[in-house]
């Protein structure tokens, strides 16, 4: 990976009367960073940054976010443009290779992914070991990690051919695994992938087709699913992406790295946000109760919070939400669905996008608010939402993992700590305590 980070100046830090010069580094876009790698060696002091929210852990050329402007770029391309005009496999190629494919490159890539969608037959035995009421994310975590036992050669990731094969297998098989999680959860037989369908269309068929009758993919729903995949593919160094990179920095098997990212995404503060948003809509129940919950949201003493509104990174509108808003209305219009939860969502959206209290605080509906509505309308239970998020994000994870391996400056992750425990103590035998 070509290093595009340049030094633009020097920052001086004074510690206990002694000054140290540290390089100021600038990427192609975004705020500059202070390179503190030499600080401990020179001064004997660490930086302290719980959650790493003010720390750049790596150089990356994949995704850029400008939270103030509400901008998200994949390899320099606006995510809204990609979602409206591209396909999920074309965007996957972009994230992995850095450039959009030409027609021949896309045909080869699509064919390669399509021909790796089947699962080894013995994977089914892993599902049979789960209880039927197991959370789908527990099944996904286990079975993604289990792939490492079936593809031993992919562990030799220093070889380009083996690494490419691992990338293709992971992107191809994750929809099949995700669909099997759903089918097992609802007690239906698995549906094999079908090679003449698109990436999104094939996933929908594996989820909703049954052996007893034919299944035809609805093009409106297929396109909506494809947009969901694109919008959730990558999002800078978030918790799960950082987990994948940290696991990968030790040289771990790529399937184990993706399993680690999947486990991190499972957390309700990360991948569970759209599920939380839909549960909130169900709690509100009916449109006439919205004023009550709006008042509670404004009351600082009330623990209730509007889920699916605002974003930690975006201070303006989440750009992904703009696409999902249009997609939500397209899907609901196509399916002709009308139920109290969706009526609450639409009315709450109208209030939040027009009332000064929300607008001034940047509490716009985010991508999780809309994606939960769409996935519910398609018939997915709420406990499958995070699985679908993981399916989409896997492409970003494996792209970040691949980039990490190509970075000559990459080292095994080893964060420091400020120790606050007991000082050195003498051991006292048990009979004298």
Residue 134 lies in a domain: yes
Question: What confidence score (pLDDT) does residue 51 get?
Answer: 86
pTM (whole model) above 0.85: yes
Question: What confidence score (pLDDT) does residue 4 get?
Answer: 76
CB 372 within 8 A of CB 277: yes
- CATH number, domain with residue 285: 1.10.580.10
Paired tokens of 235? 């999002």
Question: What confidence score (pLDDT) does residue 209 get?
Answer: 97
Question: What confidence score (pLDDT) does residue 1 get?
Answer: 59
Q: Are residues 91 and 33 in the same domain?
A: no
Paired tokens of 124? 């089914």
- CATH number, domain with residue 28: 2.20.28.60
- Which residues are known catalytic residues? 311, 368
Q: Are residues 19 and 87 in the same domain?
A: no
CB 274 within 8 A of CB 324: no
Question: What confidence score (pLDDT) does residue 380 get?
Answer: 94
Residue 212 lies in a domain: yes
Q: Are residues 32 and 150 in the same domain?
A: no
* 33 beta partners: 25
What lies within 8 Å, CB to CB, of 274 at 6+ separation is 308, 367, 368, 369, 371, 372, 375, 385, 386, 389
How buried is residue 20: exposed, middle or buried, by Cβ count under 10 Å (0-12/13-18/19+)?
Answer: middle
Q: Are residues 42 and 108 in the same domain?
A: no
Question: What confidence score (pLDDT) does residue 404 get?
Answer: 94
Q: Are residues 327 and 391 in the same domain?
A: yes
* Domain count across the chain: 2
Question: What confidence score (pLDDT) does residue 338 get?
Answer: 74
Q: Are residues 189 and 124 in the same domain?
A: yes
Look-up of token digits 């990976």: 1
Q: Are residues 39 and 148 in the same domain?
A: no
**pLDDT per residue as tens digits for the range 41-94:** 899 898 888 888 888 889 999 999 998 888 999 999 999 999 999 999 999 999
Residue 178 has, within 13 A of its CA and on its CB side, a CA count of: 29
Question: What confidence score (pLDDT) does residue 176 get?
Answer: 98
Q: Are residues 170 and 255 in the same domain?
A: yes
Residue 432 lies in a domain: no
3-state percent helix, strand, coil for the chain, nearest multiple of 5? 55, 10, 40
Q: Are residues 108 and 245 in the same domain?
A: yes
Residue 284 lies in a domain: yes
Residue 424 lies in a domain: no
Q: Are residues 321 and 262 in the same domain?
A: yes
**pLDDT per residue as tens digits for the range 106-128:** 999 999 999 999 999 999 999 99
CB 140 within 8 A of CB 124: no
Residue 430 lies in a domain: no
219-241 burial string, b = 16+ CB within 10 Å, else e? eebbbbbbbbbbbbbbbbbbebb
Residue 166 lies in a domain: yes
Print the domain residue range for 309.
81-409
Q: Are residues 393 and 282 in the same domain?
A: yes
Report residues of the chain scoring pLDDT below 50.
none
Element (H, E) at 92: helix 88-97
Question: Rg of the Cα trace of the chain?
Answer: 24
Residue 98 lies in a domain: yes
Q: At what angle do helices 340-352 and 367-378 cross, to 10 degrees?
A: 160
Q: Are residues 85 and 144 in the same domain?
A: yes
Q: Where among 16, 39, 56 does a domain terminate?
A: 56
């Amino acid at each position: 990976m070509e290093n595009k980070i340049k030094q633009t100046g020097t920052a001086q830090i004074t510690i206990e009367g002694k000054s140290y010069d540290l390089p100021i580094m600038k990427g192609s876009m975004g705020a500059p960073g202070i390179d503190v790698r030499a600080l401990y060696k020179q001064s004997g002091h660490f930086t302290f940054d719980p959650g790493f929210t003010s720390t750049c852990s790596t150089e990356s050329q994949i995704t850029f976010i400008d939270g103030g402007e509400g901008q998200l770029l994949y390899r320099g391309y606006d995510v809204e443009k990609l979602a409206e005009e591209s396909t999920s496999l074309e965007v996957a190629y972009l994230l992995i290779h850095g450039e959009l494919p030409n027609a021949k490159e896309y045909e080869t890539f699509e064919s390669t992914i399509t021909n790796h969608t089947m699962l080894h037959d013995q994977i089914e035995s892993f599902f049979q070991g789960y209880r039927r009421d197991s959370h789908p994310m527990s099944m996904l975590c286990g079975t993604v990690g289990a792939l490492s036992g079936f593809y031993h050669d992919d562990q030799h990731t220093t070889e380009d051919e083996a690494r490419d094969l691992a990338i293709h297998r992971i992107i191809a098989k994750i929809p099949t695994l995700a669909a099997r999680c759903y089918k097992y959860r609802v007690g239906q037989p698995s549906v094999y992938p079908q090679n003449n369908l698109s990436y999104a269309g094939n996933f929908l068929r594996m989820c909703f087709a049954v052996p007893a009758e034919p299944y035809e993919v609805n093009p409106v729903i297929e396109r909506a699913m494809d947009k969901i995949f694109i919008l959730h593919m990558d999002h800078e160094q978030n918790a799960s992406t950082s987990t994948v990179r940290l696991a990968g920095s030790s040289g771990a098997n790529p399937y184990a790295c993706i399993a680690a990212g999947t486990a991190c995404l499972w957390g309700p503060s990360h991948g569970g946000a759209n599920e939380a948003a839909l549960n909130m809509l169900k709690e509100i129940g009916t449109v006439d109760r919205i004023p009550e919950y709006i008042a509670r949201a404004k009351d600082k003493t009330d623990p209730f919070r509007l889920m699916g509104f605002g974003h930690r990174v975006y201070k303006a509108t989440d750009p992904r939400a703009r696409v999902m808003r249009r997609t939500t209305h397209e899907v609901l219009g196509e399916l002709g669905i009308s139920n109290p939860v969706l009526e609450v969502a639409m009315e709450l959206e109208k209030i939040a996008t027009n009332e000064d209290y929300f607008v001034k605080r940047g509490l716009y509906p985010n991508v999780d608010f809309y994606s939960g509505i769409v996935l519910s309308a398609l018939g997915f239970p709420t406990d499958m939402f995070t699985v679908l998020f993981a399916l989409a994000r896997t492409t970003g994870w494996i792209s970040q993992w691949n980039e990490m391996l190509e970075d000559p400056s990459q080292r095994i992750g080893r964060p420091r700590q400020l120790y606050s425990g007991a000082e050195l103590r003498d051991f006292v035998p048990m009979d004298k305590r």
